[in-house]
Structure 1
Amino acid sequence: MLTNSDSYHDIRPYNDSEVPAAIERLINDQAFIDAIVSHRFERSPKWLSSLLGPFVKILLRIKWRKFKSVAHIQDEVGRFMETLLQRTSDGVTVKGLDKLDPTKAYIFISNHRDIAMDPALVNFALHSAGHNTALIAFGDNLLKKPSATELMKLNKGFVVKRSAKKPRELLKALTQLSNFIKDALQSNQSVWIAQREGRAKDGMDFTDPAILKMFYMAGKQQKLEFADYMKSLNIVPVAIAYENDPCDIAKANELYQVNHHGQYNKTEFEDIDSIVKGIVGHKGRLTVTFGSVIDDDFTTPAELASQIDAQIHRNYQLYPINYLAANQQHGEITAECRARLDDKLSQLPAEAHPYLLANYANPVNNAR
């Protein structure tokens, strides 16, 4: 995939030759097998569940032995996504993709609402339209389980080393990441990355200029001007809108705990739990809107971030629940919509209500 991929061995996705061994490691990961059994057979008695593990391994080995390349994996993920979205959504609308050249590589910078589904929806849209899918940036905070690493690297994921804290260590990690993204684009491979670290739990979709500074590190090494280098990256803002956020109550509770009690203690595998909830939870209607390639001369990261935000805010698909939460009149606000929002609020203390409402209302405010 990348000509000098050995220099990125610790962060890059798996290549074709590494796929069979990675699948074998997954099949032999007992924690992974146990997780599948507990999810698929959650209502079965424990004694039966304990006997199902060996059969799940056999079934996976039969089903997955055909996967010999990254392309095979992407086709399977595409089929999985189609089935998943039929079950957990009321349909996906894709806009703006027809303006992009399928033979070119882009950096897709999207708003960040869901850990797994945001990049999955972007790649589902690309795959369905016959475009090559993008490499997916994910933080090393999600690598607490070996199976998570295997699954993400099999699915074109590359690692962002968020755990690097010491200045020299952080500089080395960011430089490696910047050069990896540059080389990926030069290999005609698109990249997806969220506009900020961590999900926007309050509906405020704003780009962190630090991400753009990281992009420029590779350009700075080549002594290129910021504006020239950033234009060469073919940056495309992407707005992802969920009519229903499966994690909205948990997000509101977290913000409430932080603001009213001074802290929120995240459990060890809470990020993994959020991933599962986002995948299997009902999402209502979904809209993925690809913006225009940014080709203007922006001389600072802050200026470029503002342009990315402007496109995301303008292209964000607003649903009736957004207008209802913002206390605005809208013709499509139904009694069912009001009942759904009331039900969400009833699961939170009154002091936490503003945080849940903000998650849906702020996209309306930002679109003005």
Structure 2
Amino acid sequence: MSPFEDIRPFYDTEVNEALREIIHHPMLKAMMNFTFPDVSDDYWRDLMLHCHSIRDFQINFIYPSVQKVLEKSSEGLSTSGFEKLEKNVSYLFISNHRDIILDTSLLNACLYEHGLSMTTTAIGDNLVKKPFLKSLSKLTRSFTIKRGLPARELLESSKITSAYIKNSLLRENRSVWIAQREGRTKDGNDETHKGVLKMISMAAGEENFIDYFKRINIVPISISYEYDPTDVLKMPELLAKAKSETYVKGENEDFMTLLNGIMGQKKRIHIHVGNLLNKEIQQIAVQEQNANKQFQAIADLLDRNILAGYKLWPTNYIAHDLLYGDEEYKDQYTIEEKKVFENRFQKVVDLNDPMAVKSYLAMYANPVNNQKRVLEEVKN
């Protein structure tokens, strides 16, 4: 039995049977009725029953779903940097993470449109506890990362995850997407956690992890939404953090966040593909001999690239000016754009709660500060 049995996506030989098991599930029906509103259920079900690979399922069902989501809940998706990627080369995409499903769904749609192979995708097992969602994740080539384990079990699980990533990249020649940290960024501060890099490095074995990192072609990804469709849902956790309280998720919180992320209004979206980091990683190896400091330097390198590639929207600049009570960035937005943002802000935030006001505005304003800091560091 494969060591990856508990975490892997479906094999193509398993796809048709898996589809037959969920073909009459009400959530699949709702998803397909949204995607194909003008055809009967028999039409898409017949197509699905003739589907025998993950790629077929992604192209014929998931890709049209993503297009419909963009049509209904956004003002369009723009991209930059995809021309730098080579066909038949696998990459480890390390990305900032804002939305549970859309981040990777949109990236894969862009890869497909550019004639590139779609990724295998890391997803926390807390998000796929419902059997239908687990099947759907495995049908879209996601592998699960186990959360909340005791220390010893976590170590073993991390080794398996790391080996799976290596297997996908170097044996199957398939790119992998993984977030720069566990969970989504809630406060707008996109930061790479060293723990993610250390987990990835476990599969290096006897090889120096720096050499291994160069072999797996690390590429940073920056994704930004003009409006975060889950901004309101992030507020309770942000407020708990601001008050130094422990935040406990509600029973269906992840699922509600997932739905809101898909259907909530996002306006414009941008995905930027950064440069391959092999040269910079080699420079770190030359400049720093301590392994722990090397990991931190690579995390900092990813941060600089992700933040520099992040598309700032009028909402970011408006929030910054409102948060700091000035007009530093007034040339970056119109009066109408500011009114729209303020209307949304006033509807969802208790204006009598200074901490709530600050937390909400900072969620949008922090990327402005972070990018400014990074660009100033590059100049110096």
Check whether TM > 0.5. yes
Matched, 1:83 2:84: no
Percent identity, please. Answer: 36
Distance 1:120 1:37, change over 3 A: closer
CA apart distance, 1:173:
0.6
1:249–1:344 contact (8 Å) kept in structure 2: no
**Which residue does 2:365 correspond to in 1?**
361
Q: TM-score, structure 2 length as denominator?
A: 0.86
Query: Structure 2 residue aligned with 1:238, among 221, 238, 262?
Result: 221
Instruction: Determine helix, strand or coil for the equivalent of 1:159.
Output: strand
User: Where do 4+ consecutive residues of structure 1 move more than 2 Å?
Assistant: 34-41, 58-63, 257-265
**Which residue does 2:349 correspond to in 1?**
348
**Which residue does 1:15 correspond to in 2?**
11
Structure 1 residues 268-307: aligned runs within 5 Å: 268-295=251-278, 296-297=281-282, 298-299=284-285, 300-307=294-301
CA apart distance, 1:124:
1.2
Superposition RMSD on alpha carbons, in Å?
2.1
Distance 1:85 1:71, change over 3 A: same
* Structure 1: gaps (5+ residues): 42-54
CA apart distance, 1:336:
2.6
1:252–1:353 contact (8 Å) kept in structure 2: no
**Which residue does 1:49 correspond to in 2?**
none
CA apart distance, 1:65:
1.1
Q: Which amino acid aligns with 2:196?
A: I
2:223–2:272 contact (8 Å) kept in structure 1: yes
**Which residue does 1:168 correspond to in 2?**
152
Distance 1:360 1:159, change over 3 A: same
Q: Which amino acid aligns with 1:33?
A: P
User: Equivalents in 1 of 2:219, 2:88: separation in Å?
Assistant: 15
Matched, 1:324 2:318: yes
Structure 1 residues 1-368: aligned runs within 5 Å: 6-28=2-24, 32-33=25-26, 36=29, 61-76=45-60, 77-165=62-150, 167-186=151-170, 187-219=172-204, 221=205, 223-260=206-243, 262-295=245-278, 296-297=281-282, 298-299=284-285, 300-327=294-321, 328-346=328-346, 347-349=348-350, 350-351=353-354, 352-368=356-372
Distance 1:96 1:80, change over 3 A: same
1:96–1:290 contact (8 Å) kept in structure 2: yes
CA offsets 1:101-134 (integer angstroms, 9 cap, x no match): 1210001111011111111111111011110000
User: Equivalents in 1 of 2:222, 2:154: separation in Å?
Assistant: 29
* Structure 2: gaps (5+ residues): 35-39, 286-293, 322-327, 373-380
User: Equivalents in 2 of 1:261, 1:291: separation in Å?
Assistant: 35
Distance 1:233 1:334, change over 3 A: same
User: Equivalents in 2 of 1:252, 1:20: separation in Å?
Assistant: 41
Instruction: Determine helix, strand or coil for the equivalent of 1:127.
Output: helix
User: Equivalents in 2 of 1:143, 1:23: separation in Å?
Assistant: 17
CA offsets 1:310-357 (integer angstroms, 9 cap, x no match): 001101001111111111324241233222222233221233011111
User: Equivalents in 1 of 2:311, 2:251: separation in Å?
Assistant: 34
How many residues get paired?
344
2:32–2:44 contact (8 Å) kept in structure 1: no
